[in-house]
A and B are shown apart, each in its own frame.
Chain A
Amino acid sequence: MSETPRETLRLVVAGHVDHGKSTVVGRLLADTGALPKGRLERVEAYCRLNSKPFEFAFLLDALKDEQRQGITIEAARGFFKTARRDYAVVDAPGHSELLRNMISGASRADAAFLVLDVRDPAAGNARRHAYLLSFLGLRQVLVLVNKMDLAGYSEQAFRRAVREHGSFLDSIGVEAAGFIPISGRHGDNLAAASSRMPWYAGPTALSALDALGAPAPALSGPFRMPVQDVYGLGEGRGRAFVGTVESGSLAVGDEVIFYPSGKSGRVKSFEEFPASARAEVCAGMAAAFSLAEPPAVERGELAARPGQRPPLVAARFQARLLWLGVEPLTSGKDYVLKLGAARTAVRLEKAGRVLDSSSLAAKAGAAQVERNQVADCVLRAEAAVAFDAGARFVIVDNHRVCGGGFVEKL
């Protein structure tokens, strides 16, 4: 193909219910020519038939319940492109009952649009979503101050929203990449610059988005590969240790150490189908390697290289976690911890400081962690696991993922 490959950036659109997220996304899809022929017309016909005013949001809110209730229930994906790159966009629900769906979409994003109603920039979920974006470590956040049409495209109203929400973002350590006055309904400053706000000289939402950085795998840094599995290669050909490389690189002839067991081996070859003569793998690749004199290692260990910073190995660690379970997270009960490729029983040792993700009111010394609370807690696993500071984990209870977070320190 003559066309050079284009990078894809994953974008999540967050904000309070009814502040216009789905409208913004629908409008972006329409204005960037991402909609198939007839799609807009079909939605218009649907609205006429059901005596509803036309909404760009209906392009995303595809479910029957969503259209009936006029809200987004489940995060929807869409795709659009600019001259610079391709985008995969997730339209997250703003309703507080549906935080788990917002978090699911946001946890995989490279950048976020935080959509605010200019008339109500301090609304509960505008703050909660901003806080959760920062909890997830999302650093590239563009604030879209929406519904400028309903505020007479007033500079004063925009400045007030920027002031109110900006000071809140400062207080939670989020540095917005920009504040942009928009109207999702009329398309002002989304794909095209608006003539109705001559006082605004900044970029449109799309050009601000194009100016953000693309995701890059951690090529530098120590080699890390959680062992996903070990496959037999057939008679006399040994075994392959498989997994996706999280950081660094590994070459034929390199020594590998597995943690927590401390077992080691030397890379004989990389195994691929169809067969290849690959000499090195690096961050982001799904790899498989065989070892000379392979040790008995199972799924769950972390592959690293000697001479580089070793991972931590511990059964007890401090973590910051968000709890989404209906039942609170309590001490004295067994849960399942999934960290890297490891899976082990885990208990809450101490809840510590607990923060309500909506009011952001903190409480020290809580006995348990309630739904939608973020806790700085101590977890104790049944078996030692290997990880780096900042590692992501989830907790499973009763067959469901009920929470997740980051390892802070030992």
Chain B
Amino acid sequence: MRDPLDVLEARSVFILREAYAGFKNLAMLWSIGKDSTVLLHLARKAFLGRVPFPLIHIDTSFKIPEMIAYRDRLAREWGLTLLVGRNDAALARKETFPDGAVDRLACCGLLKTQALKDVIAGGPRWRLDLETGAYEPDASREPFTGIVAGIRADEEGSRSKERYFSPRGSAQRWDLGEQPPELWTQYNVDFPPGTHVRVHPLLDWREVDVWDYIRREKIPTVSLYYDQGEGRRYRSLGCQPCTSPVASTARDPEEIVAELRTGRLKDVAERSGRAQDAEDGGTLEDLRREGYM
């Protein structure tokens, strides 16, 4: 029998290579979380060590500081093209949940969905200078036609209904009722002008697979995922005001795998620490229809 992680890895690598062959302007979302960092590792495998397209990080300015330091360090170590998008207008107007101006869902909509849509459509974005470590305005303003994202089907309801190659229509909306057929692994990379395709290589991975793979491949991850002796750790990472740690004493990927398989987290939902999910009735459907990752 083949190791299930090898099966998942080969499937994801195939998808990444199809996406790279199919889209002229491809980019990959990197949230600094465990899933998109696994995706980044898979991309390095698929393309034999280098990542031949930019990574996009949507910075809400409310991320936990360690995440940003880790992002910049890895980008410089691995020679990544890193683009950062941000909704500066909303931040300047203090139109955010932490500022008390809007609710959590509206905040996600502005700081994540809108910022992402602007970068995809060719709005302003900042590029990390790998020499100096500073961020400069990106000279290119070309829209992206393919966006690779590390979502998984087992995270929540609307993601369980996704395609591997999922077309986004005008205004970048996800028309869930009208998804085209997707047969075998003959993925569709065709798209009408003015639209783009979201590519989801991790759709078949479960949370425990992600951690088992991080363990096997020794993928570097932020320390927030591990208990530092206080009996708690983050299971899912988002913005500081809307993410809370879970009670856990797991100190490394191996202990997390054990905790998910047979330990205290084996029947607790992964995103139970993410407050915006609860406001959307337990799914991210409304946010995701509008363009959320």
Q: Which residues from chain A sit less than 8 Å from chain B, CB to CB?
A: 1, 3, 5-8, 33, 35-39, 42, 60, 62-65, 73-79, 86, 88, 100-101, 103-104, 107-108, 214, 217, 228-229, 231, 233, 240, 242-244, 271-274, 284-286, 288, 299, 324, 336, 338, 392-394, 396, 399-402, 404
Contact = CB atoms under 8 A, between A and B. Distances in A.
A104 B163 contact: yes
A79 B206 contact: yes
Contacts of A401: 180-183, 186, 188
Contact of A62 (B6, B158, B268): B158
A242 B10 CA distance: 12
A286 B4 contact: no
Contacts, number: 160
Given A63-B161, A103-B183, A286-B13, 15 more contacts: A5-B1, A62-B158, A74-B161, A77-B154, A86-B4, A104-B181, A228-B17, A229-B17, A231-B48, A284-B10, A286-B46, A299-B21, A401-B182, A404-B184, A404-B186
B184 A62 contact: no
Given A1-B254, A7-B1, A284-B2, A244 B10 contact: yes
A74 B179 contact: yes
A73 B177 CA distance: 7
B89 interface: no
12 contacts: A5-B1, A7-B2, A33-B267, A62-B156, A62-B283, A74-B177, A74-B179, A77-B153, A77-B203, A86-B4, A108-B184, A233-B48
Contacts of A75: 161
Given A5-B1, A62-B161, A286 B282 contact: no
A391 B10 CA distance: 20
Nearest to A4: B1
Interface of B: 1-7, 9-10, 13-14, 17-18, 20-21, 44-49, 153-154, 156-158, 160-161, 163, 167, 176-177, 179-186, 188, 190-192, 203-204, 206, 212, 215, 254, 257, 261, 267-270, 272, 281-283, 285-286
A284 B7 contact: yes
B267 A404 contact: no
Contacts of A38: 269
**Closest 7 A-B residue pairs measured CB to CB?**
A62-B157, A36-B269, A100-B181, A286-B13, A74-B161, A273-B49, A404-B183
Contacts of A272: 45, 48
Contacts of B10: 244, 284-286
B257 A1 contact: yes
A3 to B, nearest CB: 7
A78 B160 contact: yes
Nearest to A227: B21
A240, A242, A272: residue with the most chain B Cβ atoms closer than 10 Å: A242
A273 B44 contact: yes
Contacts of A104: 163, 179, 181-183
Contact of A8 (B7, B154, B270): B7
B186 A8 contact: no
Nearest to A214: B1
Contacts of B4: 5-8, 86
A231 to B, nearest CB: 6
Nearest to A105: B182
B201 to A, nearest CB: 11
